[in-house]
A and B are shown apart, each in its own frame.
Chain A
Amino acid sequence: MYVQHEATFAGYPIVDWERDNAIFNKGTNIALAVRTDWDENENGSGWIGKFNDLLNSPSLEQIPALVIGMWHYEESVKYIVDALVANKARFSNLKALFIGDITSEENEISWIKQDNLSPLWSAFPNLEHLTIRGGDGLELGDLKLPKLKSLRIEAGGLTGEVVRTVGEAALPELESLVLWLGTSGYGATVTIADLQSFYECAGKPKLKYLGLCDSEMADQVAEFIATAPVLQRLDTLDLSLGILTDEGALALLTSPYIRGLKKLDLHFHFCSDGMIKKLEELSQEGIEVDVSDKQRDRDWRFVAVGE
């Protein structure tokens, strides 16, 4: 799972900065990635050192997207946040931010140490795309991002507080929202109670894509969302990567709103072959259904991404 770094972010090709400003000659319409490898962390100055060197580059004011990759275990994200905020004028065109483009080969997702990211919102109020990987220690504060179009948080487990913060946030331009709820073993404290504001998604009038993924309680999430009025507005409902069984799938099938969807994404699931057939029949009603990656029954079940 997610062993690769992404190739694009927010539609921009990701280009790693390796202390070579020649990359800007090909154009500045890129997602600039700053990540440190084992060697730079061990023998060099870590992420902050690399970032400070980056600040000597021209063209940063034109960069629309920034990807923050692997940092040294001994560096805190807090310093990264501080460094970004202190240099916000250099990234005046920043529209997209990815904090934590880290593969499992570099660090386990549940071991990525996040921090309070809220100073970033006032520093970069024009953000349109925000992706965060890592839920441990994550705090969002007051999520005021009036231009945000997409928000994605991937984690081994999210706290109830983070989920509630996202649910209650007024994000008037938000079209796509994906949260990996996770498992309790990896830090998830979210409950259905924390998902209440997702029933209507009141502060998100433009929402078209809702993903509540990678959930240990996918069945309960499915039962909850099956009667949620927000489904009437959505194009896509995404409950993939979690422990969804026939129970949750049945709730979706019998939902009054499900047939208004354009797409139902349930890939990576634990449904029976019989249920898969029934779900696939939804395509006859014009709904694209993804029920691929069926998981074999085992003594124990697991979400796609815990560690």
Chain B
Amino acid sequence: MMHSLVIGSSDDMRVELFQHALAQNGHPPAAIADYRDIIRGDVHLAAMIQPGTLVRIESPGKSEEANQALLALGADEPAEGGDYLRVDTALPQPKGLIAASRQWYLGLRAFMRRVAEQLNESPPHRLMNHPDDILLMFDKRVCHAFLEVQGISVPPALPCVHSFDELEAAMQARGVRRVFVKLAHGSSASGVVAYQTNGTEHRATAAVEMAAEGGKVQLFNTRRVQTYTSHAEIARLVDTLCQHRVHVEQWIPKARMGDKIFDLRVVVIGGEPAHTLARLSHNPMTNLHLLNERRDRQTVIEHMGKDNFARAMALCAQTMAHFPNSLYAGIDLLVAPGFRKHYVIEMNAFGDLLHDTLFDGLDTYALEIQRATCG
């Protein structure tokens, strides 16, 4: 009988799934420390942890309150590294508006700092994922640089740009024509733009809708992937994203499965690549929540070939080895045509939500619990 604590939102699907996995393993449900309560100072983690408690830091998820609280926390943080687009957290945000991710990240950072402090003051416990690792994975610029320095295969990044003009200049200076522009602190295709030019024409594909509101450009997440071909529009789109900080990488073409392109989501647990899915798409955005199709691990192995798949998994294991204080992460892997070359395109600290996917008969949460408790 193991005591557990989840730092997360109580009505969140992820927490529910974790509770279910605990129950299936004969453990009592985890206590929950809500993001908002921690931020408000209504709880101290030390009071919720016993010796040997399994501590899980979960995503704030879709909880508006949790995310608003993080944004409010971020508003108080110094704007190091340059100013960014701030939002007034007192005002309600229109539905689907792309979050002010820099402000959100600064809030997350303050939050994780507090969590780390409180964990330090707590009885000895088993921490699944370390706050420092979570923060690293939520900063694409820093994470990319970190992985590159460790010799992990990643697409080459462009230097930091703060505007579309700077992006164009950086691309021209390097003879690069195709790039992925991502919010440095975004996730799940939010604010990702696949941009390409041949010198005279421009094309940007994004799951983003642009609207002008009171003279300002507003960006909304959309399930309908949009294509922009006007230079001015693309400049507006990228300039607006830059206000939240962007990370730019070269666009390496992906391999195909049938008439679609695909990439892989690999959940590494306890050092070993486990749950694996291929995400298929007709357009450059492969994320599953965009209603894209997925294929299971066996299909991927047959498609790529055993050796290529094994080497892709080895890359994932090698990548995760650089995060020894974290039990799991979801790695997005780019497979180039030919299936022989692989690149890590994203690390997801909360990337273990894979519906209806089993590995050795267990879902991600059950396998994490197993690895956390038995090793």
* CB <8 Å contact, A5 and B256: yes
Q: Counting CB contacts under 8 A, is B159 at the interface?
A: no
Q: Counting CB contacts under 8 A, is B284 at the interface?
A: yes
* CB <8 Å contact, B203 and A37: no
Q: Counting CB contacts under 8 A, is A197 at the interface?
A: no
In the complex, what residue of chain B is closest to A2 when comparing beta carbons? B259
Q: Counting CB contacts under 8 A, is B201 at the interface?
A: yes
Give A11 to B177 CA distance when docked, in angstroms.
35
Residues of B within 8 A of A39 (CB): 252, 336, 341
Residues of A within 8 A of B246 (CB): none
Residues of B within 8 A of A79 (CB): none
A94 CB to nearest B CB, Å: 24
Q: Counting CB contacts under 8 A, is B125 at the interface?
A: no
Known: A18-B338, A38-B253, A105-B284. A307 touches B203 (CB 8 A): yes
- In this complex, how many residues of chain B approach chain A with their Cβ under 8 Å: the count is 23
* CB <8 Å contact, B259 and A3: yes
B236-269 near A? 1/0 per residue, CB < 8 Å: 0000000000000010111010111100000000
Q: Counting CB contacts under 8 A, is B337 at the interface?
A: yes
B191-231 near A? 1/0 per residue, CB < 8 Å: 00000101001010000000000000000000000010000
Report 7 cross-chain contacts, Cβ distance below 8 Å, ordered by A residue.
A37-B341, A38-B336, A103-B256, A105-B284, A106-B253, A106-B337, A111-B201
* CB <8 Å contact, B256 and A3: yes
Q: Is the interface of B mostly helix, strand, loop or mixed?
A: loop
Among A18, A103, A105, A110, chain B packs the most CB atoms within 10 A around the CB of A105
Known: A18-B338, A38-B336. A3 touches B201 (CB 8 A): no
Known: A3-B260, A4-B259, A18-B338. A108 touches B203 (CB 8 A): yes
A233 CB to nearest B CB, Å: 33
Interface residues of B (CB under 8 A from A): 156, 175, 177, 196, 198, 201, 203, 227, 250, 252-254, 256, 258-261, 282, 284, 336-338, 341
Residues of A within 8 A of B260 (CB): 3
Residues of A within 8 A of B252 (CB): 38-39
Give A5 to B259 CA distance when docked, in angstroms.
9
Residues of B within 8 A of A1 (CB): 282
* CB <8 Å contact, A105 and B177: no
Interface residues of A (CB under 8 A from B): 1, 3-5, 16, 18, 35, 37-39, 42, 70, 73-74, 103, 105-106, 108, 110-111, 307
* CB <8 Å contact, A38 and B338: no
In the complex, what residue of chain A is closest to B201 when comparing beta carbons? A111
Question: Beyond the given A5-B337, A105-B261, could you list 18 further A-B residue pairs with CB under 8 A, ordered by the A residue number?
Answer: A1-B282, A3-B256, A3-B259, A5-B256, A16-B338, A37-B253, A38-B253, A38-B336, A39-B252, A39-B341, A42-B250, A103-B253, A106-B337, A108-B196, A108-B198, A110-B201, A111-B196, A307-B227
In the complex, what residue of chain B is closest to A186 when comparing beta carbons? B201
B163 CB to nearest A CB, Å: 24
Among A16, A38, A110, chain B packs the most CB atoms within 10 A around the CB of A38
B205 CB to nearest A CB, Å: 10
Give A54 to B198 CA distance when docked, in angstroms.
29
In the complex, what residue of chain A is closest to B198 when comparing beta carbons? A111
* CB <8 Å contact, A4 and B336: no
Give A73 to B227 CA distance when docked, in angstroms.
22
In the complex, what residue of chain A is closest to B260 when comparing beta carbons? A3
Q: Which 3 A-B pairs have the closest CB atoms?
A: A38-B252, A105-B253, A111-B198
Residues of A within 8 A of B341 (CB): 37, 39
* CB <8 Å contact, A4 and B258: yes
In the complex, what residue of chain B is closest to A39 when comparing beta carbons? B341
A1 CB to nearest B CB, Å: 8
Residues of A within 8 A of B338 (CB): 16, 18, 37
Give A37 to B338 CA distance when docked, in angstroms.
9
Residues of A within 8 A of B337 (CB): 5, 35, 37, 106
A7 CB to nearest B CB, Å: 10
Give A106 to B254 CA distance when docked, in angstroms.
8
* CB <8 Å contact, B177 and A73: yes
Q: Which of B201, B203, B256 contacts A4 (CB 8 A)?
A: B256
